[in-house]
Structure 1
Amino acid sequence: MASTSGGCSRRALLGLLPALLAARRALADQRDPALPDLFARLRRADAVEAPAIEGRIRAIWYRHPDRIVTSLLDEGVVLLSDRQWSAAYRRFDELVQRAPDFAEAWNQRATVAFLLDDLDTAVRDIQRTLALEPRHFEALARLGEIYLKRGHPEAALRAFEAALSIHPTMAAVRRQADELRSRLFGRDI
Structure 2
Amino acid sequence: MARTQAKDHGEKREAILEAAARVFASEGFDRASMAALAQEAGISKANIYHYYDSKDALLFDLLDSHLKALRDRLAAVPLAGLAPPHKLQTLCTELLLAYQGADNAHRVQSAGMDHLPEAERNTLVGYQRDMVRQLSGVIAENAPDPLAQDPAKLRRITMSLFGMLNWHYMWNAGADEASRRTYGAEVAALTLGGLKAL
TM-score, normalised via structure 2 length: 0.28
Q: TM-score, normalised by structure 1?
A: 0.29
Higher RCO structure (Cα 8 Å, ≥6 apart): 2
Of Structure 1 and Structure 2, which has the larger fraction of its residues in helix? 2
Rg comparison, structure with higher value: 2
